Amino acid sequence: MLIRMLGQGKVGNAIVHFFSSFFHMSWEAALSVYWVYIRSHLTYILFIVIIIFFLILFWVLLSWFMRYFDEVVKGVNQLVSGKQEPIAMSPELDFMEEQLNQVQAELEKSRRAKLDAEKRKNDLILYLAHDIKTPLTSVIGYLNLLYESPDLPTEQRVKYVEITLKKAERLERLINEFFEITRYHLQAVSLIKAPFDLSYMLVQVIDEAYPLLVAKSQTILTDFPESLCVFADADQLVRVFHNLLKNAISYSAAETVLTISAEKRKEMVVICFENEGTIPPEALNRIFEKFYRADQSRQSDTGGFGLGLAIAKDIVELHGGNIFVECTNNRILFTVVLPINAA
């Protein structure tokens, strides 16, 4: 139909009239040119016109698409570069703008958390260097005194040896803490699960803590069945319970009673460590953070480096469980909830 319209009628006449007027040709000459150069090649001309039309259309659509693509690339580059300015895009890309800004906020939150943890770790390394130097200096000083004064009275010599021993034990604890920090950063926690008796493990943990209990005249009340079988990684969970018990002993007063209980609840097992003491509300929200500890813990000989509870949380969560802490009526309660079959 289109070819027929071009070949005859108004469209053909218009073309002949254009040639006649523009090139100052007679009507007959213009008509001859039309038939020789246009009418006889009309199919090819239309094909070329259609191709040109689609090329122009493709270029327009590609330009429109590339404009939005450039905006997305610019937003992603801003995200990668870490710039904090809000990412802005065209109204048509509101959904993409919202998603990128959410990712930017999460990345910034993660970055600040890492910087905060790194700062606390570096501070603790400095504390470690200082705290190691202090008891080490005391040990060297008392040993030199004992060496240079062989005629010291027995009572005074025993006193100096006792002080030296306490300082050396403090030094050992600090070095163990340092190794714990190093191991935590160099090794990824992996689980090797097998069935074992949780009650027997708790008894072993209590027995290992006996010297610490005697030193503070503390006692432990237990409330768990004779046998409580679970399927989990015993080597990792013993670290959890050791850290919780050590924490309870360290931050409760002398001559107090600690309580350890465990019971089965449907497909879960609940283990509780309870002791006298208080935890500030602000510390409750951060107590499981890596390298976090209350400021006053550095002032005592039992103060750690804020890693034990963070490790405990990681291990419990790897087992598909949960750990949380409560503090009411001058009582601190740590609760561990684990699946009996932590598959």
Domain ranges for the chain? 2-80, 104-186, 194-339
C-beta of residue 294 within 8 angstroms of C-beta of residue 327: no
Residue 291: DSSP 8-state: T
C-beta of residue 299 within 8 angstroms of C-beta of residue 288: no
C-beta of residue 294 within 8 angstroms of C-beta of residue 306: no
C-beta of residue 244 within 8 angstroms of C-beta of residue 206: no
- Chain centroid to CA 59: how far? 46
pTM (2 d.p.): 0.54
The residue that leads in pLDDT, 24 or 9, is 24
CATH class of 194-339: alpha beta
C-beta of residue 268 within 8 angstroms of C-beta of residue 232: no
The residue that leads in pLDDT, 291 or 28, is 28
Average pLDDT for residues 206-229, to the nearest whole number? 91
C-beta of residue 223 within 8 angstroms of C-beta of residue 261: yes
CATH class of 104-186: mainly alpha
User: For residues 86 and 98, what is the distance between their CA atoms, to the nearest angstrom?
Assistant: 10
The residue that leads in pLDDT, 334 or 98, is 334
Write down the pLDDT at residue 289: 78
Q: pLDDT tens digits, residue range 266-275?
A: 899 999 999 9
Kindly tell me if the per-residue pLDDT of 297 is higher than 60.
no
Instruction: Let me know if the fold of 104-186 is the same as that of 194-339.
Output: no
Grade residue 294 by pLDDT with cuts at 50, 70 and 90: low
Query: What backbone torsions phi and psi does residue 83 show, to the nearest 5 degrees?
Result: -65, 145
Kindly tell me if the per-residue pLDDT of 343 is higher than 60.
no
